[in-house]
Amino acid sequence: MSAMRQLRMLFLGLLILTLTGCSWFQKEGPVVQPFEFTDQNEEPFGMKQLEGKVWIADFIFTNCETVCPPMTFTMAELQEELGDRGLEVEIVSFSVDPAVDSPDVLKKYIEGFTQDQSNWHLLTGYSQEEIEKFALDEFQTLVHKPSETNQVLHGVSFFVINPEGMLIEDYSFTDPDLIPNIIDDVKRHQP
């Protein structure tokens, strides 16, 4: 194969990778845009407090009749495992039912899963429309509250965000390797 033909094949391969959005260099996902909401302690909390830290996010609500309690239980297990290994990480749970989930309601909810709230922030202080748009725009996940029920449809992923605010991975909370995989991600991205 001539050098010119090899060069054309290389160029064509790189062009295909570029046009399809794939790249050998693409290691990170989208950057989470700045936000500031209210946590369970009625304190403002957002990207300013997360700057330079690895964090894990999920979307839950307190009167959920299905997946939220086991998701929160799994997050509490993850929090304990990370703490046992001395890994510093923030946990952020966005309420997908902000009209019901006041800071006081969120505080009572989390107390049923962990006594250590030092690095776990349950957020509210936005409208239903805002959280639906935020979840889709920043995490590419669905949140929708149908008018005929008090339940909210939402994704069941845990999202890992690096210290630069980039979404680096998401895992279904039902993944049997969730905890070891997230621990590996956190170790790799510790500042």
Residue 3: pLDDT over 70: no
Q: What is the pLDDT of residue 29?
A: 78
pTM of the model: 0.85
Looking at per-residue pLDDT, the higher value among 56 and 191 belongs to 56
* Closest to 36 in 3D by CA, of 26, 45, 25, 23: 45
Average pLDDT of the residues of the chain: 89
> Which region holds residue 21: left if phi is over 0, alpha if psi is between -120 and 50, else beta?
left
